[in-house]
Structure 1
């Protein structure tokens, strides 16, 4: 009882809405004619608290080249809920704050100077190095960013042979491992300590199209990890990783940080 938390929602025009979710002590079976956030008989109430235009929706400081973008997905910085990250249809990740000073950098980009009209399909922050995040794109390219810099630490353009990326997620037990799923139901496993050029494993899952992926594991015990795959038929499969992709060495985080430093 007494549950209360905040959630955020985003529309394509870049309007970010904040809501407060409250649990009421007693349910009202009749509901409320004025409170549209409470269903009849419900105990959980949704209150709209504030809204803001998450970005000016122009992608360049140059007014001649400036283009309006669509907001496609939203992520909140794990270490500071004031900072939000929005994937766009121009290959950019917009960075802003819900209150206080403006966030820098304003945009995270590809390595090249020119923008590319590509959908950002996935953003995922590392559970170990909280300042690092992966960006997956509609042309199959992958970027690894640090929060403090607008250009990527690393970028891979041809890992999916052009297939759009559906999801990118870090391993929950190994800092240098992440998984990717593309629109052709190909599953990729990357181990940056083994190869920083290409995936170390590619599994082609053609029989029943995979529509979603979720990586799981216990970072505390490191006794198991794997990936859950949702198929078009409605079936959900759990695939467990071997020990090599589950148990990390004591120096793995430092090795990953060293790779990132060399990239800078």
Structure 2
């Protein structure tokens, strides 16, 4: 490209621009419009300033690698809006009367109607038309009976696990004021499963944080804004929807109180227990009980007490149980409770997880606290964070307490029937899948969830998903088992959808899982019986010894003991003599 300046005869300045000698364009302008003329002259180059390179600045230079730049290459589209003419509608009533009758037939007279019907039924044209209609109708009915368009015919296509296990994220629920506040419990609304209630509470001791943390109710279709912000007097540690009145939410507080929220009456508690009759520690769990009225529930806290309540009378609890495992009948010996488990199919039984790692099976039939504690399972080496009965086999339950997940049977009291390998990270929660009996999901402090399929793999998870950089605090399955909500330590709630291979029941799976649990139960029972037999045999062997043998062993052990004592005395005496001799030599 080059340019040329020239002046023509009329005094106009011409500017010639040429691009690659192919495109030329001439700009013409009068000389008097250019101002004062400029005289150009040649002169040698002059150095006005010289900047010497500074090698020290090179060390502060940071190379930008890689260099990324965004480029938008999408098509720009225009938009045009048009308002159509408004159509005015009007509602009117109509009087419907039975029609199709001839004018000479009065429909108010039943005799005339019967005579006309008999006349029509004898007409040959009527009979032929009726025969054709019945034939077509019969074909349609047979088709409807043969094929159900609403039935899923290929739901058992995962017999050979052709479809890979998969979990995809649907929504992420975040609220600005609850950032870095742990979402520690999630509950699904029973009616329609379209809402979730999330409690936010920090169990970590921090004397600086004294403000109450709000809890939230989300519509799963709207992750941008919570549907309702619950304003409790103290931060909520647990929430639970009522199965009969789906607008009621049961909540346990950080200060030990329990309260009831009603979504129809605002975001503040409509009922709340008196603090002098409430727990003395944080409420770890509060669950609704199976009752005709749907107003009964019970709660447990770290003070080792379980209270039964009725929403009609929240002044004080209806009943109380002190979890004294040593049965010393003193409240100071009560074990701190971390988890409650209740299944409505077994209304008289419930399970308790303690801070010492033991699992306790209790009943409500007895009147004395000592009789209410039935079975104590050894549990884990850390606090129990999750207990859940199997939704298909109620005598089987799982527990989370340390680096392992264990599956127990009520028939085996001293040992578990299945356990995962110790994980590198601490486990925080676990849930059975409501759709498939052999699938359960566990979460870790690493921020991952592990999907286990007992029919596919038993030594390692079938699928591991990295969900967050923070620890996952809680899990909650939807009733159908298609969706699962996960709450993290930084306050985020993630909704995920499981693939069909993880939530659709196979036709033989229930029987296979039941056979597996029965086999493991029998195996553990045999091992337990064998170890008990060995222990009893050793005791019997000791008791069958004669008194002479026992006396002889006692005398031998006594002689050995005194011989050792005498040797030590002699060593001490020799040392003292040597010490005295050295002192005498120094004095002389």
TM-score (normalised: structure 1): 0.74
Residues 252 and 100 (structure 1), Cα distance of their counterparts in 2 relative to 1, 3 Å cut: same
What is the aligned counterpart of 2:348 among 82, 95, 102?
Answer: 82
The match for 2:396 is 132
> How many Å apart are 1:208 and its aligned residue?
5.3
The answer (yes or no) to whether the contact 1:104–1:148 under 8 Å persists in 2 is no
Residue 430 of structure 2: which of 156, 168, 177 is its match?
A: 168
2:419 to 155, 166, 169: 155
Question: Is the partner of 2:506 in helix, strand or coil?
Answer: coil
Which of 451, 466, 490 matches 1:204?
Answer: 466
Give the corresponding residue for 1:58. Answer: 326
Whether 1:9 aligns to 2:293 is no
Task: State the secondary structure of the residue aligned to 1:253.
Answer: helix
- Contact 2:305 2:334 (8 Å CA) reproduced: no
Question: In structure 1, what is the equivalent of residue 357 of structure 2?
Answer: 91
Q: SS of the residue aligned with 2:320?
A: strand
Tell me, in whole angstroms, the C-alpha distance in 1 between the residues paired with 2:479 and 2:346.
24
Q: State the alpha-carbon separation in 1 of the partners of residues 463 and 503 from structure 2.
A: 14
CA contact (8 A) 2:421 2:459 kept: no
* Structure 1 vs Structure 2 CA RMSD: 2.7
Is the 2:389–2:395 Cα contact (8 Å) retained in structure 1?
yes
Match of 1:108 in 2: 377
CA distance in 1, matches of 2:341, 2:515: 26
8 Å contact 1:175–1:256 — kept in the other structure? yes
CA distance in 1, matches of 2:325, 2:459: 33
Q: Distance in 2 between matches of 1:215 and 1:129?
A: 17
Tell me the SS of whatever aligns to 1:256. Answer: helix
For the 8 Å contact 1:95–1:105, the answer to whether it is kept is: yes
Contact 2:487 2:493 in 1 (8 A): yes
Across the two proteins, how many residue pairs are aligned to each other?
222
Greater fraction of residues in strand: 1
Segment of structure 1 superposing worse, 179-188 or 80-89: 80-89
Segments of structure 1 that go 5 or more residues without pairing to the other structure are: 23-34, 38-45, 60-66, 111-115, 220-224
Q: Structure 2 stretches of 5 or more lacking a match?
A: 1-244, 246-291, 328-332, 522-588
1:47 Cα deviation after fit:
5.4
Aligned-pair distance for 1:105?
A: 5.4
Structure with the higher fraction of residues in helix conformation: 2
Aligned to 2:447: 185
2:508 is aligned with 1:240: no
**Secondary structure, aligned partner of 1:145:** strand
1:5 and 1:148 mapped to 2: Cα distance?
A: 33
User: How far, CA to CA, are the matches of 1:154 and 1:91 in structure 2?
Assistant: 17
Partner of 2:336: 70
